[in-house]
Amino acid sequence: MAELDWVQNRVEPGRTDAEFPIDWVRAQFPALARAGSFVFLDNAAGAQVPQRVLDAVNDHLLERNVQRGGRYSRSVEVDRMVAGARATVATWLNAADASEICFGMNATSFIRLASLAIAQTIAPERAEIIVTDLDHDANIATWLALTAPGLSFAWWRMREDGRLHVEDLLPLLSEKTRLVACTAVAHSLGSLVDIPAVARAVHGVGAELFVDCVHYSPHAPIDVQAWDCDYLVCSGYKAFSPHMGFLWGKRERLRALPTFREDFIPDEPPFKIEAGTFIYENVAGMAAAVDYLESLGRHMGATGDKRAALIHAMEAIRAYEAELSRAMLAVLNDNGAIIYGVGDPGHVDRRVPTICFNFEGVDPAEVVKRMAAAGIGIRDGHMYAPRLMARLGLSMDSGCIRLSMVHYNRMEEIERFAAELRTILRS
Ligand SMILES: Cc1ncc(COP(=O)(O)O)c(C=O)c1O
């Protein structure tokens, strides 16, 4: 298998809007039309939602905005909706069982919940946790905050190319390693991490792998069974859904976690992981977002079951987004940007279209303000990644500029960004 083939990356050079149903896609997202000429290039901070997600949330609130567990039909329907959403998300992830999907508020609270539980199971002779300096701080600080007898930490550091290389993890792993926490793709630099290879290495020493899939989920197919990780966390609002989060874990791993639960909550996943009531309408929205992705697959001619249609859609998204990356990297290179991480348009297979950059002697905030005034939404700052900023030699105050595209962005928007950028840099 070639490097990063696991993201099912069929990136064919020259693929364009014409082959990807971009008009159909954009028509599914009413916020895009409402926004007029505004260009959404800050999608890593939260993506727009398709009409069917709005409908699902609305429908839930209108038809069954009641608590679960009652005997009347509305309440029974809530139970049914949650069960259906679990099955839908399980299909999206290729989970072995729907009970491995636990719903909640967001990714950070799940990383905190899982890490606190894991800390209680740490034996002094296997008490090392490995974190990276590429991750969002939600998947670093949460682990560093743990206390347990003998607990220590090691750092898997990215290389100068802005990527985490499995070869650098290998010497860190030993029979002392309890867990490795890493991202599937950097929410800042956009660089992919070879999760199946990481899982093989981690399991080779009897440790566990916790994957932050928050930034990866809108960009390419997920397959927790093929990846063979132990835990994985996602956040709905990054993946065309409203705000909510979910944790997936191998059933036996989740069963072994000592979590808080009231006496009346079954000591079984998913219930033992779901503290209190979560936002049912947003869970309905998450399931509808997955259904939207399935409908994209069908629109593009997918036959077969839901999983097959989802893979079809996510592969098409991956290929289309590679073209967006290629075009945007070319624009940035032409304008003399310092691109952090994979900046070569020939290596778009190593990244998603989330790009951090700066211009020599130019305040990132100034560029972002000017873009905002021109109706283009991008972001500047530390990207919630203090360790990464330190590695890049950037201050937490000014940081860098980030733009992040998803599959509803189009080439014309890159051209608009390019024209505005030229104006800003000339003045
Ligand atoms: C890669 C990554 N991990 C974790 C988080 C935190 O997610 P949440 O806001 O759902 O807690 C984010 C949010 O931006 C993220 O991008």
pLDDT tens for residues 123-157? 999 999 999 999 999 999 999 999 999 999 999 99
From residue 92, alpha-carbon distances to 22, 50, 69, 154, 197 in Å are 22, 17, 26, 32, 21
| Confidence class for position 3, pLDDT limits 50, 70, 90 | low
> Taking CA 360 as the corner, what is the angle to CA 355 and CA 362, rounded to the nearest 5 degrees?
85
Residue 2 has pLDDT above 70, yes or no: no
Mean pLDDT over 258-271 rounds to 94
Regarding the beta carbon of 214 and ligand 1, being less than 6 Å apart is answered: yes
- Residue 107 CB–ligand 1 contact under 6 Å: yes
Q: Determine the pLDDT at residue 1.
A: 42
The SS3 assignment for 383 reads: coil
d(CA 211, CA 238): 16
Q: Is the CB of 219 under 6 A from ligand 1?
A: no
Angstrom distance (rounded) from CA 270 to CA 29: 31
Tokens representing residue 99 in the block:
């009970």
Using pLDDT thresholds of 50, 70 and 90, give the confidence band for residue 427: confident
Q: Which residues are within 8 A (CB) of 399 and not within 5 positions of it... i.e. 6 or more apart? A: 364, 380, 381, 382, 383, 389
- The reported pLDDT for the residue numbered 13 is 47
Which residues, at least 6 apart from 404, have a Cβ–Cβ distance to it below 8 Å?
41, 42, 43, 44, 45, 190, 353, 354, 355
Strands (E), 196-254: 208-212, 231-235, 245-249
Grouping H, G, I as helix, E, B as strand and the rest as coil, residue 101 is strand
Please report which residue ranges of 186-305 form alpha helices under DSSP H. Answer: 195-204, 224-227, 251-256, 280-299
DSSP annotation of 192 = B
Predicted confidence (pLDDT) per residue in 66-102, tens digit: 999 999 999 999 999 999 999 999 999 999 999 999 9
d(CA 54, CA 282): 10
Question: Phi and psi for 173 in degrees, rounded to 5?
Answer: -80, 140
Average pLDDT, the chain: 96
Spatial distance between the Cα atoms of 427 and 410, rounded to a whole number of angstroms: 27
* pLDDT at position 24: 98
pLDDT of the residue at 238: 98
Does the CB atom of residue 325 touch ligand 1 within 6 A? no
CA 29 to chain centre: 20
Q: What's the rounded Cα separation, in Å, for the pair 284 and 388?
A: 35
Q: Could you say which DSSP state residue 179 is in?
A: E
Ligand 1 centroid, distance to 200 Cα (angstroms): 25
Cα separation, 423 vs 407, in Å, equals 26
Cβ of residue 235 lying under 6 Å from some atom of ligand 1: yes
pLDDT at 16 over 80: no
d(CA 372, CA 22): 24
CB 26 within 8 A of CB 408: yes
Task: Please state the rounded mean pLDDT for residues 163-188.
Answer: 98
**What pLDDT, on a 0 to 100 scale, did the predictor assign at position 6?**
61
212 lines ligand 1 (CB under 6 A): yes
Dihedral of the alpha carbons of 273, 275, 280, 284, in degrees to the nearest 10: -20
Cβ atoms within 10 Å of 80's Cβ, excluding its own:
13
Interval 354-378 mean pLDDT: 98
In this predicted structure, the answer to whether residue 273 has a pLDDT above a threshold of 70 is yes
Q: Which residue has a Cα nearest atom 14 of ligand 1?
A: 45
Ligand 1 atom 8: the closest Cα is on which residue?
107
Strands annotated E in 250-394: 338-340, 354-358, 376-377, 379-381
pLDDT band at 14 (very low <50, low <70, confident <90, very high): very low
pLDDT, tens digit, 9 for 90 and up, residues 24-75: 999 999 999 999 999 999 999 999 999 999 999 999 999 999 999 999 999 9
- Assigned token pair, 302: 């997918």
In the predicted model, is pLDDT for residue 218 greater than 70?
yes
Q: What is the pLDDT of residue 18?
A: 58
pLDDT of residue 129: 98
